Amino acid sequence: MANRTDYQVQIRVAKPGAGDVLTKDVYKGRVGDDFNAGDLLTLEQGGFAETVATTIDSDLAIPIRFIALEDFDGVTSVNVGVQSITADTKFLGQVSTSTVTVADIGKRGTLAQDVTTGNYHVVITDTNPVVEIVDVEPNFSPEGRYATGNYNLVLFKFLPAALEKAPATSST
């Protein structure tokens, strides 16, 4: 089977963490922001969710707090469905390398956003990591049902440092 390298699998929560919260009551998308379901979000003072950078590493100034559950077009300020992220939240995603083996479990890396699809994928690196691989396919999906030609699918979690930085001050 050929390895999938087109990053068509959008990251998504595979297993919520113990403290994860699904909510649409508290957080508002701000006029001018624009994000899609599956985008990673930060929280700015004032309760506004904003999209994070296209490269997510430990240099990120504002911590990652949520994953968007729905699209937001940025036209009007409305409540947006989001899920909070904790250190034990597990995500399904793709790795940028052509093959992933059980030897990659425990490796750390960054996230990068594919310019064509807009989907994030894991880049295994020792430089500025924010995520850790906790399992690899086919361990969690022996049938390969998540994508055709895969085997570079992984379960990963965010490192606590990526989630616990001090909140940024609002520019508004």
What does the pLDDT look like over 33-89, one tens digit per residue?
788 888 888 877 666 777 777 888 888 777 888 888 888 887 777 787 888 888 888
- State yes or no: pLDDT of 170 exceeds 50: no
Q: Which residue from 96, 98, 90 is spatially nearest to 111, judged by alpha carbons?
A: 96
Distance CA 24, CA 116 (A): 29
Query: What's the pTM?
Result: 0.78
Q: What is the pLDDT of residue 2?
A: 41
What does the pLDDT look like over 108-167, one tens digit per residue?
999 888 877 777 888 898 888 999 999 988 777 655 555 444 457 889 999 988 887 644
Does residue 134 or residue 172 have the better pLDDT? 134
Does residue 172 or residue 67 have the better pLDDT? 67
- Residue 16, burial from CB neighbour count under 10 angstroms (0-12, 13-18, 19+): middle
CB 144 within 8 A of CB 1: yes
Distance CA 169, CA 172 (A): 9
Does residue 107 or residue 82 have the better pLDDT? 107
When pLDDT is averaged across residues 16-25 and rounded to a whole number, the result is 62
Contacts of 143 (CB under 8 A, 6+ apart): none
- The size of the chain, in residues, is 172
- Strands 28-29, 12-15: parallel, antiparallel or unpaired by DSSP? unpaired
The domains of the chain are located at 17-84, 88-163
CB 69 within 8 A of CB 23: no
Q: What is the pLDDT of residue 138?
A: 74
